[in-house]
């Protein structure tokens, strides 16, 4: 089920009414309702997906309890291995097997060997990368002694499948979200109101900004040979706001929807395009995933300890794995490596100075040159993220540099630019806030004017049922 669909507009108020007006004050019943609702929400795409998420949840529920009851190290390692094999094995099977099989075939063909690899051709379950990482962090934290398992299966299964953030994050840590399922919840009008504002902002970013930009992106990427340099440059700018509006929009809708049910989820985006370095960008973009890779990949590799060469290697490995997490294609691997290379100057600077680069305040106009440089680097990397193949990405960049000519603006370009400017201005005005519709400092008439404008625009563009980009990951 898509957030930007009429089905969800019916589903949400029905679940909300049952949750508060029928089951209010009965925590276990509310949890059971959320579990059922989440499985309905997820199974709306394909009911067969439910077996996979239920199986993954069951494995980690049992492993978590047994890890807490086991003191011998070999046995604990066996239990952790069972969780890793079950979760990463399902990812490997559904997401990566065909990719590596075909890559092996191409590599062998390059040296004259011909093979006919066995491929699975299976449908990729929506959101598998997200809930797999969420359950993995649960067992890893129990193994490390940082978390006690829950023995309530309803609580755990609801934690894994919580429908607002199930298919595209934020990737929640059990230490943050599980306790919220375990305690009683009372309706908080101010929290719910804030949730509605955040969900509205997310919906505007998705259906108005991102979906409008999508057509402009296709004009460039679907006609690389015929497009001018100006059109190709504009296509990259459009894609940067398409993926930002699409993904951060999902996160805002998810976080806002969770607030309607009394839950607080992790902030996942913090105006990343106002970053002054790639290091800062990755502290502001997809925060829950960046912190996941930091805690479960980068730090176990050694993190910032050791020699400069070791730190750089740890960083590049982490970004390479992160790129592969995004998709089974060499374009995503190159995208990850590029971001790692762009990050390296910050690592070198931190190593030389002995202190971490942590800007103390939000960006100001005086930071505009650094913001532009950082944004330009992200645009270069986004080329590989969007392109279907490495050859297409390289050809796109070649044509961008050599084709010449302006973008030949159309009426739709002016509309898209207007929506992008609205997004940028509001984001800039509220940078540092948990979300961009926290406009309490503005006069009431202006604040409500913004709300009504966003409602009208979202209503005009609503109903196209365009899937979120990150569903494919």
pLDDT(467) > 70: yes
Segment 273-299 shows an average pLDDT of: 93
More confident residue, 122 or 374: 374
Residue 76 pLDDT class (50, 70, 90 cuts): very high
* pLDDT for residue 317: 94
pLDDT(49) > 90: no
3-state secondary structure the chain: CCCCCHHHHHHHHHHHHHHHHHCCCCHHHHHHHHHHHHHHHHHCCCCCHHHHHHHHHHHHHHHHHHHHHCCCHHHHHHHHHHHHHHHHHHHHHHHHHHHHHHHHHHHHHHCCCCCCCCCCCCCCCCCHHHHHHHHHHHHHHHHCCCCCCCCCHHHHHHHHHCHHHCCCCCCCCHHHHHHHHHCCCCCCHHHHHHHHHHHHHHHHHHHHHHHHHHHHHHHHHCCCCCCCHHHHHHHHHHHHHHHHHHHHHHHHHHHHHHHHCCCCCCCCCCCHHHCCCHHHHHHHCCHHHHHHHHHHHHHHHCCCCCCHHHHHHHHHHHHHHHHHHHCCCHHHHHHHHHHHHHHHHHHHHHHHHCCCCCCCCCCCHHHHHHHHHHHHHHHHHHHHHHCCCHHHHHHHHHHHHHCCCCCCCCHHHHHHHHHHHHHHHHHHHCCCCCCCCCCCCCCHHHHHHHHHHHHHHHHHHCCCCCCCHHHHC
* pLDDT for residue 44: 87
Buried b (16+ CB within 10 A) or exposed e, 423-445: beebbeebeebebbbebeeeeee
* pLDDT for residue 387: 94
User: Average pLDDT over the chain, rounded to whole?
Assistant: 89
pLDDT(119) > 80: no
pLDDT(201) > 90: yes
* pLDDT for residue 120: 65
* pLDDT for residue 217: 94
- Per the listing, tokens 């980690």 go with 60
In tens, the pLDDT along 434-448 reads 888 888 777 888 888
* pLDDT for residue 341: 94
More confident residue, 2 or 62: 62
pLDDT(357) > 70: no
| Cβ proximity of 262 and 191 under 8 Å | yes
| Cβ proximity of 9 and 465 under 8 Å | no
CA distance 229 to 401: 7
pLDDT(356) > 70: no
Segment 397-405 shows an average pLDDT of: 91
**Model pTM greater than 0.75?**
yes
Segment among 44-53, 177-186, 377-386 with least mean pLDDT = 44-53
Segment 235-264 shows an average pLDDT of: 95
| Cβ proximity of 350 and 406 under 8 Å | no
Per-domain residue ranges for the chain?
A: 6-100+118-187, 191-276+359-472
* pLDDT for residue 423: 94
Of 286, 326, 351, 435, catalytic: 326
More confident residue, 328 or 465: 328
> Is 326 assigned a catalytic role?
yes
Residue 437 corresponds to which tokens in the numbers above?
């519709």
Residue 47 pLDDT class (50, 70, 90 cuts): confident
Q: Which residues contact 440 (CB under 8 A, 6 or more apart)?
A: 447
* pLDDT for residue 440: 75
Residue 427 corresponds to which tokens in the numbers above?
């984001």
pLDDT(260) > 90: yes
Helix axes 153-161, 174-182, angle to 10 degrees: 130
CA distance 87 to 139: 11
Contacts of 51-58 with CB under 8 Å at 24 or more apart are: 52/90, 52/94, 52/125, 52/128, 53/125, 53/131, 53/160, 53/161, 54/157, 55/86, 56/86, 56/87, 56/90, 56/131, 56/132, 56/135, 56/160, 57/135, 57/156, 57/157, 57/160, 57/161
* pLDDT for residue 306: 82
pLDDT(164) > 70: yes
pLDDT(408) > 90: no
In tens, the pLDDT along 83-98 reads 999 998 888 888 877 7
More confident residue, 236 or 358: 236
- Per the listing, tokens 């089951």 go with 23
CA distances from 187 to 17, 31, 235, 267 (A): 12, 15, 44, 21
pLDDT(108) > 90: no
What is the percent of the chain with per-residue pLDDT over 90, rounded to a whole number?
A: 64
Segment 397-402 shows an average pLDDT of: 93
pLDDT(106) > 90: no
Residue 118 pLDDT class (50, 70, 90 cuts): low
**Which among 161, 146, 179 has a CA at the least distance from the CA of 68?**
146
Residue 404 pLDDT class (50, 70, 90 cuts): confident
């Amino acid at each position: 089920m898509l957030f930007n669909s009429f089905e969800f507009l019916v589903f949400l108020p029905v679940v909300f009414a049952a949750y508060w007006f029928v089951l209010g004050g009965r925590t276990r019943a509310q949890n059971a309702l959320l579990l059922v609702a989440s499985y309905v929400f997820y199974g709306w795409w394909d009911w067969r997906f439910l077996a996979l998420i239920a199986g993954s949840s069951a494995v980690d529920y049992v492993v978590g309890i047994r890890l807490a009851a086991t003191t011998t190290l070999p046995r604990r390692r066996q239990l952790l291995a069972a969780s890793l094999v079950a979760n990463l094995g399902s990812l490997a099977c559904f997401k990566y097997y065909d990719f590596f099989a075909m890559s092996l075939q191409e590599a062998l063909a390059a040296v004259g060997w011909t093979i006919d690899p066995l491929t699975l051709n299976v449908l990729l379950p929506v959101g598998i990368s997200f809930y797999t990482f969420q359950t993995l962090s649960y067992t890893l934290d129990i193994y490390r002694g940082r978390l006690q398992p829950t023995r309530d299966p309803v609580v755990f299964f609801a934690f894994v499948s919580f429908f607002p953030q199930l298919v595209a994050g934020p990737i929640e840590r059990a230490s943050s979200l599980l306790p919220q399922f375990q305690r009683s919840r009372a309706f908080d009008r101010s929290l719910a109101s804030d949730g509605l504002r955040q969900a509205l902002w997310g919906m505007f970013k998705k259906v108005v900004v991102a979906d409008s930009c999508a057509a402009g992106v296709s004009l460039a990427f679907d006609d690389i040979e015929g497009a001018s340099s100006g059109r190709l440059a504009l296509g990259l700018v459009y894609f940067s706001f398409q993926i930002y509006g699409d993904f951060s929009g999902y996160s805002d809708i998810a976080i806002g929807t969770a607030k309607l049910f009394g839950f607080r989820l992790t902030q996942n985006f913090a105006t990343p395009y106002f970053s002054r370095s790639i290091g800062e960008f990755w502290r502001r973009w997809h925060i829950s995933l960046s912190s996941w890779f930091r805690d479960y990949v980068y730090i176990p590799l050694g993190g910032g300890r050791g020699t400069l060469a070791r730190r750089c290697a740890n960083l590049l490995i982490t970004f390479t794995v992160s790129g592969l997490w995004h998709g089974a294609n060499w374009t995503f691997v190159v995208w990850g490596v590029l971001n790692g290379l762009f990050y390296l100057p910050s690592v070198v600077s931190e190593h030389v100075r002995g202190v971490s680069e942590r800007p103390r305040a939000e960006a100001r106009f005086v930071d505009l040159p650094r913001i532009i440089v950082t944004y330009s680097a992200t645009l270069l990397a986004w080329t590989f993220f969007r392109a279907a193949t490495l050859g297409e990405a390289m050809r796109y960049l070649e044509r961008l540099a050599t084709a010449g000519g302006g973008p030949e603006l159309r009426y739709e370009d002016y509309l898209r630019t207007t929506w992008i400017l609205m997004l940028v201005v509001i984001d800039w005005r509220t940078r540092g806030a948990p979300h961009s519709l926290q406009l309490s400092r503005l006069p009431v008439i202006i604040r409500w004017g913004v709300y009504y404008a966003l409602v009208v625009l979202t209503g005009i563009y609503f109903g196209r049922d365009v899937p979120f980009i990150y569903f494919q990951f």
